[in-house]
Amino acid sequence: MVIIILLAIMLVLGRYPILVRSASLALGSDWMAVTDAELRYTLSLPDDWQWLDLAYRDQGVSMPSALGRQPYVNQALRPLRSGLGDIETIAAALETTTLEDIKPKPFVIVGRSELGRTLTPQEVLDLATNLPLAVTDQTIDRRLTGQPQARYSMLDLERGFQCHHLYVAESQNAAYLVAACAPQDRFASVHRDLDNILDSFQLLQH
């Protein structure tokens, strides 16, 4: 009976995003670790950010509405869509206490691309280099075994936003693209948090 109850609890928990207070000792107690509802990846966020997961409950309806108040969120991954084509926005997080706020905010957006899984990190950096926006700080990070990552920064002067970008792929499934962005006038004060968010992103093994 105990085993059956435990299995039932695990099945229920598997349907919900997992939030854990105090993401790491290095980040401090005012951060939380987030795992998406389908248990595909995890990342850490400051605990005053709002997390939106397309696969969680009714957020497939509420998430587009909330992101619509922050127009640049849907622009952040657009530059690489010309090379990857099928990037689907699956989650986002906003630095805000209310999703009704229309003032431009720092944010993180997570996209998924099945076509992108065949690209190497260097090929992604080559794609980024050919974009019309200014691209800097290009690196390939191999901290996670089997999860080589491409990293680069992008400045959109016309729209007044600056972003750090991350690409990481599961060769059997899909590539994930993560953009951590802020309005240009706030970027200097939050860029360390944006880097920490990207540093924490990790695909879960299945």
Closest by CA position to 80, among listed 115, 31, 53: 115
pTM above 0.85, yes or no: no
Alpha carbons 49 and 4: distance in angstroms, whole number? 36
Amino acid letter at 135? V
Domain boundaries, the chain: 48-203
pLDDT in tens, the chain (206 residues): 545 444 444 544 444 444 443 444 455 668 999 988 888 899 999 988 988 887 776 666 667 777 777 888 888 887 676 666 678 888 988 888 777 778 888 999 999 888 778 888 888 888 877 777 778 888 887 666 567 788 988 888 888 899 999 998 876 778 899 999 999 999 889 889 999 999 899 888 65
With contact defined as beta carbons under 8 Å apart, do 178 and 165 qualify? yes
Q: How many CB atoms within 10 Å of residue 199?
A: 19
**So what CATH class is 48-203?**
alpha beta
Q: Which token pair is 44?
A: 């850490």
pLDDT of residue 170: 75
| Residue with the two structure tokens 């854990």 | 20
Q: Which token pair is 77?
A: 């991954």
